[in-house]
Chain A
Amino acid sequence: MTASSETGALLEHLFRHQAGRMVAHLTRLLGPGNLSLAEETVQEAMLRALQTWPYQGLPENPAAWLFRVAHNVAIDAVRHNQVLGEKTDAIVAELARAAIVEPNHPDVEEQLRDDELRMIFMCCHPEISRDASVALSLKTVGGFSVREIARAFLADAATIAQRLVRARRQIREQHFTLDMPGGGELKQRLDSVLEVIYFMFNEGYASHEGEELIRQDLCMEALRLGGLVASSSIAEPRVDALVALMALQAARLPARVDHAGDLVLLEDQDRGRWDAQLTGLGFYHFDRSMAGDAVSEYHVQAAIAATHARASVTASRDWPLILHLYDQLLAINPSPVVALNRAVAVAKVYGPAKALKAIAPLENDPKLRDYYLLLAVRGHLLLELGRRNDAAVSFRAALACPCSEPERRFLRRKLESCELLTTE
């Protein structure tokens, strides 16, 4: 019995992580067409743990217990429903062999990581829509439930379930395999894998309404998947750049809201609350991303995050460098959101008047209509220029846009400060 069995506490996210790798592993043994069977099998194994451990105590090696039970459940299911036809005996034999291996053994762990990697690459098949790829990756390798995914995406559980059903059907009917694509196709697939991982991260990171905890879990899962790809043989420097970017941003999560649950802007954040381990991980991958000549969008974004992280105090932040990086980023990805972020750097380097000019063209961009952040930045710049009435108009307009409760409180405080100053 281990020490943890005294309290009944397990390794954090043990079930979720084991579920992810067991689904990937069983999908390889059962074939991608039987993905649902693999998922149901793993669900059943965890259910049995829940029904057994409270009475019999924690097993010596909980991961190995789950692993063994999942294989035995799979063997029963394969024998029982005969979906595998004449391959049944061979697969049962393989399941029986795999059931007794030690999942924590380094060789087995490597195999399991490879299974997970292949699984993500299949989930991100170009034929599957991006939304479905994200949901499927979270469900299968992430070990998230339909309800958790729905909560994180502020979506209806039925919508998510539908997406998953469709994606599984595509996998089955179009005979997708867990083989890694070759040649030029591999590079493209890696692109979509990184895109899906970054999308997953941003969904978690965006301070939408919704449950903070599940959103942070989403960020950490994206980071884990990124790390999985980065440590594989197919990694390229841009994978490290993406992991660096995610780690450096995730490091700020604990400081992003104060004790009252209010938003804290990057420059006002208590850097002591940044997660030092994640910052370290970020810089480790940032250094690795420097190999080679190619500069991806992830490289530039990571460089911006690194510049913020490197500054020991807010005042010493290298804003000219950050502005320069935003110029590069805008050249690679000329999106209005990037332009808006760049304007913040413009204000730091050249002052609020120049920044106001920089965001003027964005105000007509249909993509930014109803985007509270544009109006909030505008209000902030106007306030710096002493134009309190105009600033108040902007903050009021921002408040009319969809935003989360902490963001709303932040805007209201800003608006109050305009009005307070005006009446004085």
Chain B
Amino acid sequence: MPQYMLLLHSDPANWQNLSPEEMQKATEKYMAWSKKPFTRDGKRLADDAGRVIRSDHGKPRTTDGPYSETKEILGGYYTIEAASYDEAVKLSLDHPHLEVGGTIEVRQVWGS
């Protein structure tokens, strides 16, 4: 079965005004989703912009990035199994991340 990566982008400012109760509800929804039978793996990434290393005329140059100009960060990823892109998207439509203004990027793992 092909594997797909779901890259969860979000603007941390979206979370700032949530109440403890709302944060608990969101946490429970996320956790319930990550227990679905088609999810294989998931990791949280540190909540900073990260680093990007580019080749600058043959010399590596490191910057904060990749999106230092936007507030969105890549917060974490899941790996899921799906028959096709269409199915992968369909399975992700009810992800709670979308309810809180987040973005999900779906990419197929090559060769899977």
Contacts and interface: CB of A to CB of B under 8 A. Distances in A.
B28 A8 contact: yes
Contacts of B27: 8, 10, 15, 49-50, 53-54
B23 A7 contact: no
Given A50-B26, A50-B27, A6 B21 contact: no
Interface string B12-52: 10011111111110111111111100000011100100000
Contact of B20 (A46, A51, A56): A46
Contacts, number: 93
Interface residues of A, number: 31
Interface stretch (A144-152, A315-323, A372-380): A144-152
Given A53-B30, A55-B76, A145 B18 contact: yes
Contacts of B76: 51, 54-55
Contacts of A19: 20
A55 B17 CA distance: 22
Nearest to A145: B19
Contact of A9 (B16, B19, B28): B28
A53 B27 CA distance: 7
A46 B30 contact: no
B19 to A, nearest CB: 3
Interface in A1-47: 5-10, 13-16, 18-19, 43, 46-47
A162 interface: no
19 contacts: A6-B35, A7-B35, A8-B35, A9-B28, A13-B21, A14-B24, A46-B24, A47-B15, A51-B44, A52-B44, A53-B27, A53-B31, A54-B34, A55-B43, A57-B31, A143-B19, A144-B19, A145-B17, A147-B17
Interface of B: 12, 15-24, 26-35, 42-44, 47, 75-76, 78
Which 9 residue pairs spanning A and B have beta carbons closest together? A8-B31, A145-B19, A54-B30, A15-B24, A15-B20, A55-B44, A19-B20, A8-B32, A16-B20
Interface of A: 5-10, 13-16, 18-19, 43, 46-47, 49-58, 143-145, 147-148, 217
